[in-house]
Amino acid sequence: MLPLFLLSLAVFVALSVPIAFSLALTALVLALFMNQVSAALLVQNIVRGIDSFPLMAIPFFLLAGEIMNAGGISERIVKVAGALMGQIKGGLGYVNVLASMLFAGVSGSAVADTASIGAMLIPIMEGEGLDKEHSAAITISSSVIGPIIPPSIPMIIFGITANVSIVRLFLGGIIPGILIGIGLMIGWYFHARKRNYRADGKFSIAEVWRTSINAIWALILPGLILGGIVFGVFTPTEAAVIAVVYAFVVSFFVYKDLKLADLPRMFVATARNSAVVLLVCGAALAAGYYITIAQIPALLADALLWLAGDSRLILMLVINILLLLVGCVLDLTPAILIMGPMLMPIINKFGIDPVYFGVVMVVNLCIGLITPPVGNVLYVGCSISKLTVLQLSRAVLPYIFIEVVVLFLITYVPALITFIPSLVR
């Protein structure tokens, strides 16, 4: 049954069938093979996959990101990052990474990060004499931090799917996200030194103070969201609603960059993006129902256990390689929804912390967002930079390598993930 499932899904994806329909059709193939076809049951599972209160956080975080882009919050975050690091040789690359780390604290989406920061910085970096390929590559590579530093839409999905604390997953993503940012800055340092980029101006405390004061309302938002969740003031879903209200009030009444005429466009964009994510969630649950009946998780578990023996280290190595390959051909959300339920029984059998595993899985699959041939963020970067997929894929390879190194670092040093959740608890 496992080969049938993989082959069916691969065929539908290769035929360019949208991933939600690919999953639903794969579920139908499994049902036909097992002689358990029921249209009512298929629809019920799809609806059950969408009908979840925690999933309501996704459209609200997406809407908050739309408001922040239109309301000048993203622009002010970039200016703060520029004041802090823009004077270093090749400083705009560091600005790009730092801005992504700051923006990650309010968006939770790699695509939103790329679309907002990339649209602002890639043309500026090119105008300053930095080569376009590496400018776009560092942009999409740093946008991967968006779903890792809390809040994180993929961690919400994993938490719901695997019945793991979303709050602890959020906290577990803080150090890995920072490590990826530091790793990318180190990689950019060597690139800037090789290309002998020039430095622009001198560091100014006055400029840092001015931009920070101007962006103070934007910089408060990440602390408000995370602090409220950690201290039990509100749930992640309620935090997403608060993020929308806060972003609207700041953008409309304080910064006054947001126009009421912008709202219909943002509502439509949010509804469209949310519909895609939620339909995938529903279709994945329907596929998961038939996957469970077909005992595919048990078959996968037997295969992994045969490879790993009794060693957790080898098990995590095999799982990481598996997920890196999955991330090349499946988008982040369906990959979590499919692989999460299949791998969790194995993780539980080995006594591995599910929060640790969830963060490792999200970081792993986030790397797939910039990996050809399916990476969504890769294609967004191509659209913004006007580069071909081949050009950008070549330029992004060194940064993918850095992120894979960080992935294995957090895999084999679990305290990098578990320290903050255990400390707060």
Each residue's pLDDT tens digit, 59-70: 888 888 888 878
Percentage of the chain beyond pLDDT 90 is 30
CA 355 – CA 81 distance, rounded (Å): 31
Q: Is the model's pLDDT at 13 over the cut of 80? A: no
pLDDT above 70 covers what percent of the chain?
A: 98
- What's the pLDDT score for residue 175? 96
Span 310-321, average pLDDT: 92
Model confidence over 210-223: pLDDT tens digits? 998 988 888 888 88
- Which stretch, 17-26, 170-179, 318-327, has highest mean pLDDT? 170-179
Q: Which amino acid is at 223?
A: G
* Domain map (residue ranges) of the chain: 2-424
136-174 pLDDT, tens digit per residue, is 999 999 999 989 998 888 999 999 889 999 999 999 999
Greatest extent of the chain over all pairs of C-alpha atoms, in Å: 72
| Residue 315 pLDDT grade (very low, low, confident, very high; cuts 50, 70, 90) | very high
| Range picked from 92-96, 156-160, 181-185 for highest mean pLDDT | 181-185
**Euclidean distance between the first and final Cα of the chain, in Å?**
42
Q: What mean pLDDT do residues 83-88 have?
A: 80
- Other beta carbons within 10 angstroms of residue 279's beta carbon come to 19
Mean pLDDT score, 36-43: 82
Q: Residue 76 class from Cβ within 10 Å (0-12 exposed, 13-18 middle, 19+ buried)?
A: buried
Task: Indicate the burial class of 200 (C-beta count within 10 angstroms; 0-12, 13-18, 19 or more).
Answer: middle
Task: Find the mean pLDDT for residues 231-253.
Answer: 88
Which pLDDT value is given to residue 201? 66
- With a cut of 70, say whether residue 181 has pLDDT above it: yes
**Mean pLDDT, residues 98-121:** 78
What is the structure's pLDDT at 407?
A: 97
**pLDDT band, residue 184 (cuts 50/70/90):** very high
Are the beta carbons of 239 and 225 closer than 8 angstroms?
yes
Best mean pLDDT range from 18-32, 132-146, 324-338: 132-146
What mean pLDDT comes out for the span 361-381? 88
pLDDT of residue 202: 75
Q: In residues, how long is the chain? A: 425
Confidence tier at 425 by pLDDT (50, 70, 90): low
For 307-327, the DSSP string reads: HHTT-HHHHHHHHHHHHHHHH
Integer Cα distance of 417 and 414 in angstroms: 6
Q: Is the predicted pLDDT of residue 1 greater than 90, yes or no? A: no
Mean pLDDT across the chain = 87
Rg of the chain, C-alpha, whole Å: 21
Mean pLDDT value across residues 5-14? 81
pLDDT digits (tens, 9 = 90+) for 196-213: 887 766 778 888 899 989
Over range 95-105, report the average pLDDT. 84
